[in-house]
Structure 1
Amino acid sequence: MRTVGIVVEYNPLHNGHLYHIQQSRKITEADAVVAVMSGHFLQRGEPALADKWARAEMALRAGCDLVLELPVAYSAQPAQWFAHGAVAILEATGVVDALCFGSESGDLATLDRIAARLATEPDALRRRLAELLKEGRPYPTAYAEAVRELLAAEGDEAGAGFGLDQPNHTLGLHYLLALRRLGSRIVPASIRREKSEYGQTSITDGAIASATALRKLVADAGGALDGLAPYVPPSTLDILRREAAAGRAPLTWEHFARPLFHQLHALSPAALSAFAEVTEGLEHRIRASLRGLPDWRIEALLDALKTKRYTRTKLQRTLLRILLGHGKAELSPERLAAGVTYIRVLGFTDAGQALLRRMKRDAAVPVVHSAAAGSWPYLDLDARAGAVYAAAFPVPDPDAAWRDYTHPPLRL
């Protein structure tokens, strides 16, 4: 059984994602699709619109065969560690043959050539990156500029002009770097993103819109979901309606305002500095920004904190690590680089079950179906994150705080 892996968030799963699943299967001639999916909290430091089990069901109903969880230790990270964690999981399964990702151009050859040059992280790149960061550039901007300058200096004008400041190109590059650094046998493929850009807030097509634009559509409608109908598969809309009726969706950052503000007011600057992502004295800026806020909304706090150096995404990740209690040591580069020590299953089809049988023999790490299966540090973080997420449900459900221990994988 030939298998393609994809890395997803599905916040929510829309028609563009459906196209990605279908094309990934087609261009790699795969019999099955394995999705590594972020759990309750996502790469830009945001909570998911609906919980990970609902989104895993969206994935299965859209054509994925096996859904595996990307631990929150990796899911709410910059591109380097997000990609490393996801690729490490696909590699550890022992059953994935290809990885297909979307990009702005679909130009795999140029991306792979750049990845080959950067896989050992040249000293010149590290030095220039450090200089740009010292000047106050945000990391993604500084990294893209340092790579551009390196490639231009070496005469690779095509690589230098490739546009690594575009988010899907950046993420694609880091997928390719992770494959090389892990010595993976997985073969990469890429498809061009069509009709909507990553993070685009406006809707310019009758059937395709970015997840960002769809979340804005829901927010502008006061949480009403009917406006999503042209842009998502019917199964996605049915699942979201069910979750909303049960009081579990749609969630936004503002549902977490009270516990987060409690943490920010209760902890000293020294205590705040111990959390992951709190760097360069950011703890003092956070404490100072609490005074004079017009109200206790996360949006107001982000507006007060944002600077040229501290992007919204960086600040959201910082606030998320404080909310979840993630310390620097837990998420150190050394711990993250070590990769995954288990694989968590969220859902599967009949074809996915056949893959799971193969994984029992071929996987490099244990395959687990719940947090009750044993104690792994990053699985424990996921269980704690699940409890925090459940506590924000519009309709209280104490049992939901324990779903990581009690909820079996979904089978379709």
Structure 2
Amino acid sequence: MSAVGLIVEYNPLHNGHVHHFAKAKEISGAEHTVAILSGPFLQRGEPGIVSKFARAEMALAMGADLVIELPVAYAVQPAEWFAFGAAALLDATGVVDSLCFGTESGTLDLLLPLSRILADESAELQKRIGFHLNEGMNYPAAYSRAAAAAAGFAGMEQEILDVLQQPNHTLGLHYLIALKRLGSRVRPLTIPRIHAGYHDEMPAHAKIASATAVRKLLLEQDLSAAAPYLPEFTLGIIDREFREGRGPITWGSFRGPLLNLLLTSSPRDLAAFHEVTEGLEYRLRRVLPGLGKPEVAELLQALKTKRYTHTKLQRMLTHILLRHTKEEMSAPALAAGPGYLRVLGFSSGGRELLKKMKKTASLPVIVKPSSFEHPQLELDLQASAAYANAFPNPETRHMFRDYLEAPIRFSR
């Protein structure tokens, strides 16, 4: 019983994801698929346009057999910790043989040797990163330049730098680093991303667009405008969620609770939250009175500098909204790894995997969150409740769905 792992957000699941899914099964030769899915809040610090349950349903409708939630402690993090948490979950299942991810090049020829060098983050690498940060670079750029120099491939420094400045290559590199650090038997595979760049805001192909472009169409136009780029099952799920008042969710949906927290917190209070670094607590308090409108989008724009990327600031606001402390998200805490395998949904094939995982999994398999206690799980449940409270039509049962409803069981 072979299984390929996918690390996904599906915000929302589009035709490009269907292509990735089919190619992953093809090149891995796997019978089953296991998807590690981010929960309510995503890696770049933004909320999912629909809930984790709706996105898990999309994955199952596409053909995934088992959907496991990536804890929010790892889901809303820079590439290093996001990749480590997700890879650790795949490894912990004991049933996943390979991990397939998309890259701009579709090859591991450069990423694999680079990952072997960077898996052991030397003091010299950290020194180089710090040097470039002090030059005014943001962290992704500083890491890319330091990694290129540390690799020491004569005459290839610029090529390595170019590769690391592409988002899918960066994430793929960190998947490889994570697997090496874990000593995992999971085999890495990659396919080329086609027809759409990660950040493309406008479709350039008749049927495939980036998730960014699809969300833009959904939010600025309507479902029919996004329809050419979405499979039928995604269209149906999004239509249902929007009609029943569970979407669309954007940063604007959290304006009230976030601004209330910012307005009633001292700089000292704010400094306790994860990603509030280097005096950002004071910058937050300085820019608030000058906002033209009390909107999250305006706040992000006012906070942005050359040093701080939009993504870094979004993640910071997410951690403030969810009251994630520096201690909870410290490097030692994250390095300990996820504490459980939380099942969001499964098919009949997934049921077989779950039976096997009872013998092979190195972490507890959680089907009923109410029967298990863990600090990371408590953060997940809080994040889900806060997310559901921001629905256009909020209901208490949705805020506590993790406790009240069993995982999705998908028949095909």
TM-score bracket for this pair, using the shorter chain length: over 0.9
Match of 1:353 among 351, 354, 357: 351
The equivalent of 1:115 in structure 2 is: 115
Q: Partners in 2 of 1:82 and 1:27 — Cα distance?
A: 24
Percent of pairs with identical residues: 51
The alignment partner of 1:291 has SS state of: helix
The answer to which of 363-372 and 187-196 deviates more is 363-372
For normalisation by structure 2, the TM-score amounts to 0.98
1:270 aligns with 2:268: yes
Shift of 1:35: 0.3
The equivalent of 2:253 in structure 1 is: 255
Aligned partners of 2:119 and 2:177 also within 8 Å: yes
- What is the number of equivalent residue pairs in this alignment? 410
Letter in structure 2 aligned against 1:335: A
Aligned partners of 2:148 and 2:158 also within 8 Å: no
The equivalent of 1:305 in structure 2 is: 303
Aligned partners of 2:145 and 2:161 also within 8 Å: no
Q: Partners in 2 of 1:198 and 1:343 — Cα distance?
A: 28
Q: Partners in 2 of 1:292 and 1:161 — Cα distance?
A: 38
Q: Partners in 2 of 1:4 and 1:204 — Cα distance?
A: 30
Aligned partners of 1:128 and 1:146 also within 8 Å: yes
Aligned partners of 2:98 and 2:187 also within 8 Å: yes
Q: Partners in 1 of 2:160 and 2:65 — Cα distance?
A: 38
Match of 1:314 among 309, 312, 324: 312
Deviations 1:323-358 (Å, cap 9, x if unpaired)?
Answer: 001001011100101101110000101111100001
The alignment partner of 1:344 has SS state of: strand
The equivalent of 2:293 in structure 1 is: 295
The alignment partner of 1:73 has SS state of: helix
Letter in structure 2 aligned against 1:64: A
Aligned partners of 1:152 and 1:160 also within 8 Å: no
The equivalent of 2:42 in structure 1 is: 42
Letter in structure 2 aligned against 1:43: Q
Shift of 1:158: 8.1
The equivalent of 1:151 in structure 2 is: 151
Letter in structure 2 aligned against 1:367: V
* Map 1:222-237 → 2, pairs under 5 A: 224-237=222-235
Shift of 1:151: 2.7
The alignment partner of 2:33 has SS state of: strand
1:104 aligns with 2:94: no
Q: Partners in 2 of 1:196 and 1:373 — Cα distance?
A: 43
The equivalent of 1:56 in structure 2 is: 56
Q: Partners in 2 of 1:158 and 1:116 — Cα distance?
A: 19
Q: Partners in 2 of 1:242 and 1:85 — Cα distance?
A: 31
* Map 1:131-280 → 2, pairs under 5 A: 131-152=131-152, 154=154, 156=156, 160=160, 163-221=163-221, 224-280=222-278
Q: Partners in 2 of 1:158 and 1:179 — Cα distance?
A: 26
Aligned partners of 1:22 and 1:63 also within 8 Å: no
The equivalent of 2:280 in structure 1 is: 282
Letter in structure 2 aligned against 1:73: A
Shift of 1:369: 1.4
Aligned partners of 2:397 and 2:404 also within 8 Å: no
Shift of 1:152: 4.4
Letter in structure 2 aligned against 1:128: R
The equivalent of 1:124 in structure 2 is: 124
Which runs of 5 or more structure 2 residues have no equivalent in the other structure? none
Letter in structure 2 aligned against 1:62: M
Letter in structure 2 aligned against 1:15: N
Letter in structure 2 aligned against 1:282: L
Q: Partners in 2 of 1:95 and 1:325 — Cα distance?
A: 35
Q: Partners in 2 of 1:315 and 1:370 — Cα distance?
A: 34
Q: Partners in 1 of 2:279 and 2:75 — Cα distance?
A: 24
Aligned partners of 1:83 and 1:174 also within 8 Å: yes
The equivalent of 2:340 in structure 1 is: 342
For normalisation by structure 1, the TM-score amounts to 0.98
The answer to which of 39-48 and 141-150 deviates more is 141-150
The equivalent of 2:375 in structure 1 is: 377
Q: Partners in 2 of 1:2 and 1:378 — Cα distance?
A: 29
Aligned partners of 1:369 and 1:408 also within 8 Å: yes
Shift of 1:371: 2.1
Letter in structure 2 aligned against 1:314: K
Q: Partners in 2 of 1:94 and 1:375 — Cα distance?
A: 22
Q: Partners in 1 of 2:153 and 2:37 — Cα distance?
A: 38
The alignment partner of 2:169 has SS state of: helix
The alignment partner of 1:205 has SS state of: coil
The equivalent of 1:9 in structure 2 is: 9
Q: Partners in 2 of 1:340 and 1:390 — Cα distance?
A: 24
Q: Partners in 2 of 1:157 and 1:277 — Cα distance?
A: 30
The equivalent of 2:81 in structure 1 is: 81
Structure 1: 4+ residue segments shifted above 4 A = 152-159
Q: Partners in 2 of 1:409 and 1:350 — Cα distance?
A: 13
The equivalent of 1:65 in structure 2 is: 65
The alignment partner of 1:217 has SS state of: helix
Aligned partners of 1:79 and 1:174 also within 8 Å: yes
Letter in structure 2 aligned against 1:196: A
1:400 aligns with 2:398: yes
Q: Partners in 2 of 1:342 and 1:277 — Cα distance?
A: 25
The alignment partner of 1:207 has SS state of: coil
Q: 1:162 to 1:114 in 2, by over 3 A?
A: farther
Letter in structure 2 aligned against 1:25: K
The alignment partner of 1:108 has SS state of: coil
Q: Partners in 1 of 2:178 and 2:211 — Cα distance?
A: 25
Q: 1:176 to 1:87 in 2, by over 3 A?
A: same
